[in-house]
Structure 1
Amino acid sequence: MLSTRFVTGSVNWVDLGTPDMEAAKGFYGGVFGWTFQSAGPEAAGYGMFQLDGRTVAGGMAAPPEQGGPGWTVYFQSPDAEATAKTVERAGGTVAFQPMDVFDLGRMAVFNDPTGVGFAIWQPGRNKGLDAVNDPGTLCWAELYTPDAPTVIGFYQDVFGWETATMPLPDGSADYTMVNPGGAGLDAMFGGIVPLATDPLEEADGPYWLPYFAVSDCDATVARAVELGGRVRTPPTDMEGVGRSAKLSDPAGARFAVLQGERAE
């Protein structure tokens, strides 16, 4: 599961790019109870979504030429420059070269060999998200890809991930779960899904999908719709996991919610 004890290759940040930040504040505030804290006038509009005073995501207005509305998943790197070189050697591309973010850390943005964007965060004063797994916070990340074997090898080269597989419910392919190298199965934080197994995602294109934990999946979905969001996949039960739904916000940014199973 996700943890704030961040290590190399673990998810340590997630942020939203949107054409209308004010609308995003209202939507996510209504869905998850988030508030928005600006990072200051020098941060070009960037700021932090917070829940009970803890940072749970970032966000900023992003013009269409920067790729349109969407969530970006960040992974921890101990050396942004070295990671950028590894990305290129492994078949990916650098979208934004490593850069300092004040004294908070260093970041860079890449595309994997199939063109899916992701980012890295090399911590400085900002170590990453303050909270994960609790209702209203990030709890999982899922990659939909047209070439699972290639990207699994790519991310293993870049981050040293370890993997385990299980068959999808319909038996059409394997679901690959990932965890940081040496961290063990308890540190699994995400999955990799062949794009062709999901007609919805195949139509909309490959991407990293963030999941946010909720205490009531159906109520959250209803609230998202009330606030202008769209249901991409209605609430669905998965044995041993819980109840989840795929949504998009009013601008079209895709995300998912998960109500985990309660232990008996």
Structure 2
Amino acid sequence: MSLPDQINYLELPSLNPQASKDFFTALFGWRFEDYGPDYIAFFGAGIDGGFYRSNIVATPAQGGTLVVLKSANLAQSLAEVTAIGATIVKPIFSFPGGHRFEFLEPGGNQLAIWAE
């Protein structure tokens, strides 16, 4: 059950929702439900949401939100992300509390993965 006054759902633009779906299915095994060719909902990602078709995506450099995922093994996550078609935009770097890298998934979204 969802609690009030908390983030409940995220909708992310994607240049290609099917490519985003394929990427996150391969990487994390997220579950999806298609609502036509222009919207695909995801489940099992820690928070539910969806990818909607858009001709533009927002990156953090343009003021967009950076979604950050957590990993138990950052080097393994980097290898997996690269192997299934992500573009690394910031290699692993340190920050207070851990290490992370940032990447573009095939639908154009920039995300980060971090580990303690």
Which TM-score bucket, shorter chain as reference?
0.7 to 0.9
Residues 55, 217 of structure 1: CA spacing in aligned structure 2 closer, same or farther, 3 A cutoff?
Answer: closer
The answer to whether the 8 A contact 1:242-1:258 is kept is: yes
Task: Report what 1:36 is aligned to.
Answer: 32
The answer on whether the counterparts of 2:21 and 2:40 sit within 8 Å (CA) in structure 1 is no
- Long gaps (5+) in structure 2: none
- Contact 1:48-1:56 at 8 Å conserved across structures: no
Number of residue pairs matched by the alignment: 115
Q: Kindly provide the amino acid, as one letter, of the partner of residue 234 in structure 1.
A: P
Question: Which structure has the bigger radius of gyration?
Answer: 1
1:59 alignment counterpart: 50
Quote the offset at 1:219 in angstroms.
1.4
Match of 2:10 among 2, 10, 14: 14
Provide the rounded CA distance (Å) in 2 between the counterparts of 1:258 and 1:55: 15
* Higher relative contact order, structure no. (Cα contacts within 8 Å, ≥ 6 residues apart): 2
Q: CA RMSD in A?
A: 2.7
Residue number among 44, 48, 64 corresponding to 2:41 in the alignment: 48
Distance 2:58 2:105 in 1: 9
**Alignment of 1:27 onto 2:23:** yes
Query: Is the 1:48–1:55 contact (alpha carbons within 8 Å) kept by the matching residues of 2?
Result: no
Q: Which runs of 5+ in 1 are unaligned?
A: 72-143, 145-200
1:163-189 deviation line (CA, Å, top 9, x unaligned):
xxxxxxxxxxxxxxxxxxxxxxxxxxx
Q: 1-side partners of 2:108 and 2:51: how far apart?
A: 15
Write the distance in 2 (CA, Å) between the matches of 1:246 and 1:49. 21
The aligned residue for residue 164 of structure 1 is none
Question: What is the identity, as a one-letter code, of the residue corresponding to 2:92?
Answer: P
Which residue in 1 is equivalent to 2:57? 69
1:254 aligns with 2:110: yes
Alpha-carbon distance between aligned partners in 2 of 1:5 and 1:242, rounded to the nearest angstrom: 29
Displaced runs of 4+ in structure 1, greater than 4 A? none
2:69 aligned with 1:222: no
1:213 aligns with 2:34: no
| CA–CA distance in structure 2, aligned partners of residues 217 and 237 of structure 1 | 12
Query: Contact 1:236–1:244 at 8 Å: present in 2 too?
Result: yes
Partner of 2:107, secondary structure, is: coil
Map 1:1-264 to 2 at 5 A: 5-7=3-5, 10-38=6-34, 40=35, 45-51=38-44, 56-64=47-55, 68-70=56-58, 201=61, 205-239=62-96, 241-259=97-115, 261=116
Any idea what SS the aligned residue of 1:224 has? helix
